[in-house]
Every structure is written in C-alpha cells, then in structure tokens.
C-alpha cells in the first residue's frame, strides 16, 4: 500500500514548518505519510497542483500567495472556505479538489484555549484584507466579537472583504488613512505580509486599548516589529501566529486522516527550538 502524499504549496515555501508539524502529528498517531514543499510562483500554481495530483498527491496546504487562487480550482468548497473566499487546505476526491479553510478555527482555538482570551464583546481591528485576513474574519465574528473594523491600503479590497462577510451591523471597512481616528481597540490583529523584514508597521498611538490584546498572524522574525509595537503600546497580550499555525494544521490533519492530533507537544517543540524564520504556513 502506497504512503499518502501531502505538501504545502507557496512562494516562497522552503521555510515552512508544515512538513515538521504534520510529520510529528503522523508519528504521534501512528499514521504513515509523506509531506513535502512545492514552490510555485502565482502563474505556476495550477500546473504545480496538477503535477502534484498526477504524482499521487492526496492533500495540500496552501500558503501565500495562493489562498484566494486555490479557491477557484476547487470542485467543492466547505462553508468556511466559501465564506472566506480563500482556501488553505485541499483534499483530493474522485470529483476533483475539495477546498477548506482552517485558518480561522485555528486562530480562535489558539487565542481562546492556549492563551485564555475571551473574544466575546471585543471591539476589534483587523489590519489587512487579503487571503490571510479573509481566512480568519468569519471565525472571529462567529466567536462573538462586538465589532470588527477592517483597514487596508486598498479600499477596494477592504470593501470586498466586508461585503463578503455580510454582517453590516458589526463589520466596518475603513481605509488605512482612517486609522488615527478609530483607536481604542480591545483586540488588534495584524494580517498583512508587509512586515516580513521584522520592521514595525507605522501605526498611530492610542490604537490599542489599555491591556488590550495584539495578535500577528505571522511568527518568528516577521512578527517582531508588530509585537514590539504592541508591547510598547501597553498590550496585555502580544501573541504571534505560531499557535495558530499548529492549530490550523491539526484541523487540516483531521480533514485528511479523520483523527485529531494533540497540539500541545508539537507547539512546545517548535517554540523551544524557535524554528520560525518567516510568516506563512
């Protein structure tokens, strides 16, 4: 019997922790698998995915910059992938690729269960309107946020994400230039790739409410600048995306193998080794 093959597809992708995470999950549960990386530029995504399927690929994780594009190649989308308009998990079926998005549930699980945050009633800000932001926004709303303000340098992308979310009572799209007048958020989530070099984003003072929580969806060097800003702003919690990465991977593993791994040991291993050089899956 052949060993099922999985991969993470992105650009760049050599840094990815996903092979290490899924290998650890498989070892934990006694499930044999192969998990590799596929570097594909945006114009190569479809052909790279087709080649992977032809070689026996069973499932794939999708990371930057392909999450929105991956949704368009699927024969079927889960409800959460459809709401997000972005896919981070692909499962090969007889009918073709089935797409799911586990980013949102992974983030909420990390924030609530690992870090003990109560998201209910929080006045929140989401910085970014791309595939990463779209992947987590529906789950954040489902977790009970009071309001979700979305800012991005492209007003069109901000408006498009807000329209897709559909909750006009709680979702408030704004342009980046509006940031200075919005302040006092209980929760600020940074979901752009602009800080890959670790530089602090240019954010106004007063954006974070006293003892508020700040979250960067990146990890390692990519999250340093934002988290430094958060601590300097008096954040009660400054959280990177490593826990979200492990939790969304566990949800993908469940979709592929029908078994949920324990994430605590894998998260501790990655945190101890500090093996997280850049953002992405």
Over residues 103-126, the pLDDT tens digits come to 999 999 999 999 999 999 999 999
253-257, long-range: CB within 8 Å, 24+ apart, which pairs? 253/22, 253/25, 255/59, 255/89, 255/91, 255/100, 255/102, 256/4, 256/6, 256/58, 256/59, 256/91, 257/26, 257/29, 257/31, 257/33
Share of the chain above pLDDT 90, in %: 86
Q: What is the pLDDT of residue 251?
A: 98
C-alpha 257 chain-centroid distance: 21
User: Is the confidence at residue 198, as pLDDT, over 70?
Assistant: no
Q: What is the pLDDT of residue 31?
A: 97
CB 248 within 8 A of CB 224: no
Averaged pLDDT, 29-46: 98
**Residue 141 burial (CB < 10 Å; 0-12/13-18/19+)?**
buried
| 64 phi, psi to nearest 5 deg | -50, 140
Q: Which residue has the higher pLDDT, 19 or 197?
A: 19
Cα dihedral 196/68/85/123 (nearest 10) = 10
Distance CA(231)–CA(250), nearest Å, equals 29
Cα dihedral 257/76/51/4 (nearest 10) = 10
Please name which of 6, 10, 77, 4 lies closest in space to residue 281, comparing C-alpha atoms: 10
Q: What is the pLDDT of residue 200?
A: 63
Each residue's pLDDT tens digit, 55-109: 999 999 999 899 999 999 999 999 999 999 999 999 999 999 999 999 999 999 9
User: Is the confidence at residue 244, as pLDDT, over 80?
Assistant: yes
Q: What is the pLDDT of residue 183?
A: 81
Averaged pLDDT, 202-227: 93
Distance CA(151)–CA(279), nearest Å, equals 20
Q: Residue 275 — pLDDT band, cuts 50, 70, 90?
A: very low
User: Is the confidence at residue 165, as pLDDT, over 80?
Assistant: yes
User: Is the confidence at residue 273, as pLDDT, over 80?
Assistant: no
Which residues does the annotation mark as catalytic?
Answer: 67
Mean pLDDT score across all residues of the chain: 93
Each residue's pLDDT tens digit, 138-158: 999 999 999 999 999 888 999
Q: What is the pLDDT of residue 277?
A: 41
User: Is the confidence at residue 187, as pLDDT, over 70?
Assistant: yes
User: Is the confidence at residue 197, as pLDDT, over 90?
Assistant: no
- Domains in the chain, CATH or no CATH each: 5-101+246-273 (3.40.50.10860), 104-240 (3.40.50.720)
């Amino acid at each position: 019997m052949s060993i099922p093959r999985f991969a993470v597809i992105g650009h760049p992708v050599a840094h990815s922790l996903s092979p290490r995470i899924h290998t650890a999950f498989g070892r934990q549960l006694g499930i044999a698998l192969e998990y590799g990386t596929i570097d594909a530029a945006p114009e190569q995504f479809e052909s790279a995915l087709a080649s992977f399927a032809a070689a026996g690929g069973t499932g794939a994780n999708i990371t930057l910059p392909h999450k929105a594009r991956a949704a368009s190649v699927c024969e079927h989308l889960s409800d959460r992938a459809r709401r997000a308009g972005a896919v981070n998990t692909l499962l090969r079926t007889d009918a073709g690729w089935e797409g799911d998005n586990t980013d949102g549930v992974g983030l909420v699980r990390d924030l609530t269960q690992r870090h003990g945050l109560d998201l209910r009633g929080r006045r929140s800000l989401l910085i970014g309107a791309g595939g990463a932001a779209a992947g987590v926004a529906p789950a954040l709303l489902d977790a009970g946020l009071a309001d979700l303000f979305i800012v991005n340098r492209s007003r069109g992308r901000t408006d498009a994400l807000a329209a897709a979310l559909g909750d006009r009572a709680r979702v408030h799209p704004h342009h980046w230039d509006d940031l200075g007048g919005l302040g006092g958020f209980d929760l600020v989530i940074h979901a752009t790739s602009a800080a890959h070099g670790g530089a602090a984003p240019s954010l106004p003072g007063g954006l974070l409410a006293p003892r508020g929580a700040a979250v960067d969806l990146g990890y390692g060097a990519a999250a340093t600048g934002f988290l430094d800003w958060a601590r300097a702003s008096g954040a009660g919690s400054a959280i990177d995306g490593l826990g979200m990465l492990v939790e969304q991977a566990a949800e993908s593993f469940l979709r592929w193998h029908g078994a949920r791994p324990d994430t605590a040991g894998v998260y501790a291993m990655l945190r101890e080794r500090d093996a997280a050089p850049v953002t992405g899956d």
